[in-house]
Amino acid sequence: MVAIPVAGLSGVALVGLSMVPTVDETIAVELGQAEARINMISSPDPSLIQRPARPGWHQVEMDSAGVPVNTQADAHLVDPATLVPADSTLLALRSTDVTIETATGIAGIPAVEGETWNAEFDPKYALVDGRAPQTNDEILVTAAGLDRLGVGLGDRATLLDPERSVTVVGVLDVAEYPDSKIAVFGRLGAFTGDTQPSVDQDDFYLFDHALNWTAVQQLNESGAVVLSKSVLLDPPPVGSYQLQASAELQGAATTVVTLTAAGVAFAVLEVALLAGAAFTVGVRHQQRTLATVASVGGHRRTLFQIVTASGLVLGLAGGIVGVAIGVLSGSLFMAITGDGSAVQYWGYHLSIPILIGIALFAMLIGWIAALLPAWTASRLDVLAALRGARSPQVVHRTGRRWIGISIIVAGVAMTAGGALAGTASFSTPGVIDNSSLYQLSIMLVLAGPVLAQVGALLVAPVILSALAALVTRLGTGARLAARDVVRNRSRSLPVLAAIMTTVFVGTMLLAFFGGSDQASRESYERWNAEGQMMVDLNGWTDGTSQIIYPIAPEVSTMLREQFGADKVSVLSGVQPASPEATDNSPKPLVVLRPEVRCELVSGSNPAGACDAPFWLFSNGSAPQIWTGTIDDLALILDEEVSRDAQRALRAGGAVSLYPQYVQDDGTIQIDWMPASTMVGDDQNQKVAPLSTKTIDAVVQQPAHPIHFGVFMLESTARSHGLAPVTLRVLASLPAPLDDADYDQLWGSLRSLTGGTDLLARYEAGPGSTIETSG
């Protein structure tokens, strides 16, 4: 009972510490052998400050509107080459992406331009096979890229946009990439066409010149943020620099410490209950031995020490065994789950001091678990124990019962108080306003159930008696067993404690992880029903011109033949105002019910104050109104269309997938708004519509919210002055698509559009990344 939780602690310690980098590991992965990485983020600003080891955390002085006060938006950035000594080496690396033909089709993959093969970047980048590119028509790939592209060293590959042929001349290993990651590398400008360093796009790596903290602060004033090897090795004292974001990091760290401390305390109590129950049973079996010791002059203190010493010995033994099992299990877990990335497990961080501490912690738990049995053993009836007689049952007064009930009430109150405190700590969902109150809520929620459990143990005799009275009616065997449990409480209560503790821990973990999973599922945003693929037929030809391709029949055939789609629908939509709209041409807008509001907030959850799906309040590029047949609506809903909905559609009405669109009179309201006022505005703003129409509507909600608002027949839409156009193909697929399938899909779509990318999206549901190409 001691070894099992200790094994868990040891394994978690090994895996957790291995996921935290040392300074040397951070330098190796982030910088290689470079002295610093410099990124220009603004024009010179004397107020720019950064965190020493996290240059991504930086800030500048701003006015009340959130605009920097010391720089202008169109101000030029300083060339970093002018900020470092002339005799130092400064290499630029640029991240981009390319479209390339693969063995199965076409894929968009990340690319890096610059001298990644330079030996000074090792081990961040390491050329493991072949040679460095000598021209812009030669590239390097990762090992996984060879398989994905279906090429070997010296073979040709085809880049698209624009189309040209390149030669694969080497294999590059990237420390932070998993083994399955595909990427390509080339000379500066090999993919973007810009062979000169770009101040606002490139990462600049400095060699042969160290930058201390003072030098980094001087570069900050020039508009740069810097990750410096010297600063990582010799950071400035904590508190010697000021940064607003550091409070957020400190709050996160405090939360982690709070959870860890509460978890350790919780483990001590739970393991003590489990091991204590075992020690209690063991002491009863040792009564005659202990009585013999007492009969030859042993004092109560001696008996107490004998039992507690056995707790120490067993605790240490359980700790050693548990540590060994935990280290072995953690090592096996990392070996199985490792993906080859240096940032997944930065190293094998086996901390001997921590493991020794865990073993000593186990010994302490054993000693604590033996305290109560030792106290009981020191007060045993020697003569009765030598005769083998059982000690008479002690009849406790109702005081213990009421104490237990009081403790249960206190535990429940603490838990409820923690829940209320946690709710009060959020200003809006997802935004913690009071971190101290939030940490207190965590402590209360963890401590409350444990305290209630202790109270339940005190009233356990009453519970056993009540259960015995119920089961006596089930037969002679049940009656005799119930009486035995009630009369031998010293034997039954430890067993009850062990079972109750185990069930309690299991239930708590299931509730915690289940609640987290459920919250994730509820907040997950689906574009269409799970198991469906959508292909939008509108694309951008030159980055500014949008075109709708009349290829719906070809896309439908492709989805059926290549991917086995059993149901395919071609959907038309009423286009909203385009992003470049500047005129007052009327565009239709489905109006939400007047009480539906969305007060946008800042923070990690901007939709936290909305009382409907967030996308309903956004005038984006996706249509609100879709048209098609009743079968098309059934595919959208992924269920049969209700009879009411069918009658409404045939009668010239509409079906709303959200009740927020249907007004009190049972209609949807369509306002024709000036196009220039719709782009970027939310529906809380009051702009007078050019005209308004209402259409009778019913509500049929899908199983989960999806990005379809209102549906009607095409004839109905046109009768109300709407102009739907073919915009999307929706298909139900028998299985998710893998990388090879997506390569094939993307290649097929580009062949239909003449090289333009279309958005293709498979909805896998929560727990899986939504696959997106284009």
Q: pLDDT band at residue 700, thresholds of 50, 70 and 90? A: very high
Q: pLDDT band at residue 605, thresholds of 50, 70 and 90? A: very low
Per-residue pLDDT tens for 240-259?
777 744 444 444 445 555 55
Q: Please, are residues 121 and 31 in contact by the beta-carbon 8 Å criterion? A: no
Per-residue pLDDT tens for 762-772?
998 886 433 33
**Integer Rg of the chain from CA:** 34
**HSE (CB half, 13 Å, CA atoms) of 638?**
19
Q: Please, are residues 124 and 205 in contact by the beta-carbon 8 Å criterion? A: no
Mean pLDDT rounded to a whole number for the chain = 83
588 pLDDT exceeds 70? yes
Residue (of 617, 616, 621, 537) closest to 581 by Cα position: 621
Give Cβ neighbours of residue 240 (< 8 Å, ≥ 6 apart): none
Give residue for tokens 């193909």. 729
Residue boundaries of the structural domains of the chain: 95-183, 532-773
Give Cβ neighbours of residue 66 (< 8 Å, ≥ 6 apart): none
317 pLDDT exceeds 60? yes
Nearest-angstrom CA–CA distance, 323 and 269? 19
Which helix (H) or strand (E) segment is 729 a member of?
Answer: strand 725-732
Length of the chain: 774
Nearest-angstrom CA–CA distance, 729 and 715? 19
Among the residue ranges 42-46, 227-231, 596-600, 640-644, the one predicted with the least confidence is 596-600
Beta pairing partners, 729: 535, 570
3-state SS assignment for residue 547: strand
Between the ranges 71-80, 340-349, 391-400, 577-586, where is the mean pLDDT highest? 340-349
Q: What is the mean pLDDT of residues 584-593?
A: 84
Q: What is the mean pLDDT of residues 504-523?
A: 74
Q: Please, are residues 231 and 212 in contact by the beta-carbon 8 Å criterion? A: yes
CB atoms within 10 A of CB 90: 20
- pTM attached to this predicted model: 0.73
Give residue for tokens 């003590």. 272
